């Protein structure tokens, strides 16, 4: 079976763009999927944006024809997983509008005093006091749930600190491992497949990060396409002994 016969799970940061910079070949690839009627979803560890904010960001870069429903974030997966498997519907969160939207969509009540769960997503405006409030709730028994464990995020010519570093801070301070939901974890795949109404054997994962995107596919029996436009390159694949099914330098090579 060719990857063109499958549903494409596509990463965003480092695959479609770096920060606010468009990656060459990304628009052409999405236009090709739309023209060929190949189903696709953007599966991202970035928990900051809402459905609409994700679409609007891509439209500003020149993408068109993308639906709000095409985005599945680690915030959505975390909220869905907690709703499905954990008790309690009161939540506190570190995060932005995407985290809040995901929690409300799953029926959680935002409670700063008696939260059952504390969700940790990246918030570039979070304060020390917010961190302390989240920490204290975890100390009182709330479940620590990290939306993802990304080490770093591609941005321009460099990188920014990823949510994984923030989650690690809470794990260290609270002496609690908690739960990590985002790529490459199985929980993220289960929720993504449920969201897309598709089986793993009929998907292909496309991304730039070997530790998240490519391991996400490998560990969950999904075919992988590695594009060297973001965090890692071919030398990293050999060094880390992570072998994708297909390697490309530009997504236009797949057209």
What positions carry a catalytic annotation? 11, 13
Cβ-contact 9, 43 below 8 angstroms: yes
Q: How many CB atoms lie within 10 A of CB 174?
A: 18
Question: Is there a contact between 208 and 230 (Cβ–Cβ < 8 Å)?
Answer: yes
- For the sheet containing 203-207, what is the strand order? 71-73, 40-44, 7-10, 203-207, 223-227, 246-248
SS3 81: helix
Tell me which residue has tokens 């599966």: 43
Nearest to 126 by CA among 173, 87, 92, 171: 92
What string of DSSP letters covers 133-175?
A: HHHHHHHTTPEEEES---SEEEETTEEEE-HHHHHHHHHHHHT
CB 98 within 8 A of CB 121: yes
């Amino acid at each position: 079976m060719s990857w063109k016969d499958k549903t494409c799970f596509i990463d965003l940061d480092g695959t479609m763009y770096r920060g606010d910079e468009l990656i060459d070949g990304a628009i052409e690839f999405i236009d090709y999927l739309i023209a060929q009627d190949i189903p696709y979803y953007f599966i991202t560890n970035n928990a900051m944006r809402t459905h609409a904010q994700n679409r609007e960001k891509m439209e500003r870069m020149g993408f068109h024809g993308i639906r709000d429903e095409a985005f599945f974030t680690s915030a959505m997966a975390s909220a869905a997983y907690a709703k499905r498997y954990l008790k309690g519907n009161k939540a506190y969160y570190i995060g932005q509008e995407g985290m809040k939207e995901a929690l409300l969509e799953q029926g959680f009540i935002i409670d700063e005093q008696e939260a059952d769960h504390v969700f940790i997503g990246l918030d570039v405006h979070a304060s020390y006091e917010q961190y302390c409030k989240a920490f204290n709730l975890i100390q009182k028994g709330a479940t620590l749930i990290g939306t993802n464990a990304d080490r770093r995020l591609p941005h321009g010519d460099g990188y920014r600190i990823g949510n994984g570093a923030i989650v690690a801070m809470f794990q260290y301070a609270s002496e609690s491992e908690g739960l990590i939901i985002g790529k490459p974890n199985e929980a993220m795949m289960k929720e993504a497949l449920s969201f897309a109404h598709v089986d793993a054997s009929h998907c292909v994962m496309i991304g730039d990060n070997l530790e998240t995107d490519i391991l996400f596919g490998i560990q969950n029996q999904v075919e992988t396409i590695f594009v060297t436009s973001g965090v890692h390159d071919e030398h990293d694949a050999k060094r880390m002994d992570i072998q994708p099914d297909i390697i490309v330098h530009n997504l236009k090579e797949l057209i």
